[in-house]
Structure 1
Amino acid sequence: MRAHETTIPGVLRIELDVQPNDDGWFKENFHRAKLEQAGVPALDAVQHNVSYFAEAGIIRGIHAEPWDKYLSPSAGRVFVALVDLRSGETFGAVETFELEAGQALYVPRGCGNSFCTLTPHTVYNFLVNEYWSPERITVDLFDPELEIDWPFPRRQLSWTERDAGNPTLAEIRMLTEAGSRPA
């Protein structure tokens, strides 16, 4: 396991060792001691979520929850767009990644996570260090200020009603500067 810094402070891109075998492959998706040795902060995972997506072009996010996340696909590939929503000089910074079974991301609390399935039959794992709650900051997936170059044209993407109503980064910025906590 090897961890690499990204342009967003605290976000780490992780290379996992995938061992081919006669039946397919094996990987240690999460091994706390090896990850810590590679420079990943200790993640005391309390919940492991797995999502299955039958089609390519399914998009979710942008959500910044009050917990740290460890993300990795088990099958298929995903395009991930992260947005720093923590107050400070990197507020609004965006970085994108393509992940397959041999990669993972460590995403600290306050960083918005979104993804788009690149292949049918994608299985995506999320380990978190706090139990799920509805508390989060959300941002419009298609906010022009973010300039996220999604891998499919918008008309080919499928997203939830809930994500369709997310505020823009400018609206989040105004709430933050006014001292309010965005919902």
Structure 2
Amino acid sequence: MSGGIRFGLPLALHTSPIDGLVVLDLPVHGDNRGWFKENWQREKMTSLGLPDLGPVQNNISFNKTRGTTRGIHAEPWDKYISVATGSVFGAWVDLRQGDGFGTVFTTVIDPSVAVFVPRGVGNAFQTLEDSTAYTYLVNEHWSPEAEYTFLNLADETVAIEWPVPLEQAELSAKDLGHPRLADVAPMRF
């Protein structure tokens, strides 16, 4: 069985300091063959209080090396995030207009954890293991015309403590070129 995965947890929902962003413990069942989980089960999760996501698209980001870092991107749709293999350090910043603007939350996601990210909350992650498959459901189709909000991964105001320092991480120049929080126009809905 894989190291780090917490087996046998009951399905549970935990709040975060970001309004609407919740972390779920997922039951993972393992034996000598590997493991199995229900990553998304509408009836069970909505009965816990999770919004009915109504997924229209499933995306997978395969990341070859530890330290691969992606984000911080806020989209005009909700996301339901988990990993199929490996683990990530997840970081979220509330980029919506309002009192929560700039609020940060971080946690580690392995196959026994999922995170619901409401629209307008900036999402980023850094892989903690080689060959990590990060997967997420969304409730709107991607569109180049949609309004997106971005934040620089190295923003000093939100001060995310990346496990692998960004100067040693695998990342895109585009992500490092995004604005600092003081220059971000909050998302409005």
Q: If the length of structure 1 is used for normalisation, what is the TM-score?
A: 0.93
Cα distance, 1:21 vs. partner?
A: 2.6
Matched, 1:148 2:160: yes
Matched, 1:66 2:64: no
- Give structure 2 stretches of 5+ with no counterpart: 1-10
Q: Does the CA contact (< 8 Å) of 2:67 and 2:127 recur in 1?
A: yes
Count of aligned pairs? 176
1:13 aligned counterpart, secondary structure: strand
Cα distance, 1:22 vs. partner?
A: 3.0
Indicate the residue corresponding to 2:130 in structure 1: 120
Indicate the residue corresponding to 1:87 in structure 2: 97
Q: Does the CA contact (< 8 Å) of 2:154 and 2:176 recur in 1?
A: no
Cα distance, 1:161 vs. partner?
A: 2.3
Indicate the residue corresponding to 1:3 in structure 2: 13
Give me the whole-angstrom Cα distance separating, in 2, the residues matched to 1:17 and 1:59.
27
Indicate the residue corresponding to 1:39 in structure 2: 49
2:46 aligned counterpart, secondary structure: helix
Deviation larger for 69-78 or 13-22: 13-22
Give me the whole-angstrom Cα distance separating, in 2, the residues matched to 1:2 and 1:40.
10
Once the two structures are superposed, the pairs formed by residues 74-113 of structure 1 within 5 Å of their partners are 74-113=84-123
Once the two structures are superposed, the pairs formed by residues 131-142 of structure 1 within 5 Å of their partners are 131-134=141-144, 135=146, 136-142=148-154
Output the amino acid matched with 1:58: T
Indicate the residue corresponding to 1:12 in structure 2: 22
Deviant stretches of 4+, over 3 Å: none
Give me the whole-angstrom Cα distance separating, in 1, the residues matched to 2:89 and 2:169.
12
What is the CA deviation profile of residues 157-181 of structure 1, one whole-angstrom value per residue up to 9, with x for unaligned ones? 1111221210111001xx45xxxx7
Output the amino acid matched with 1:37: S
Cα distance, 1:154 vs. partner?
A: 2.1
Give me the whole-angstrom Cα distance separating, in 1, the residues matched to 2:56 and 2:173.
28
CA RMSD of aligned residues (A): 1.3
* Matched-pair identity in %: 44
Corresponding residue to 2:180 among 163, 168, 180: 168
Q: If the length of structure 2 is used for normalisation, what is the TM-score?
A: 0.90
- Give structure 1 stretches of 5+ with no counterpart: none
Give me the whole-angstrom Cα distance separating, in 2, the residues matched to 1:58 and 1:154.
9
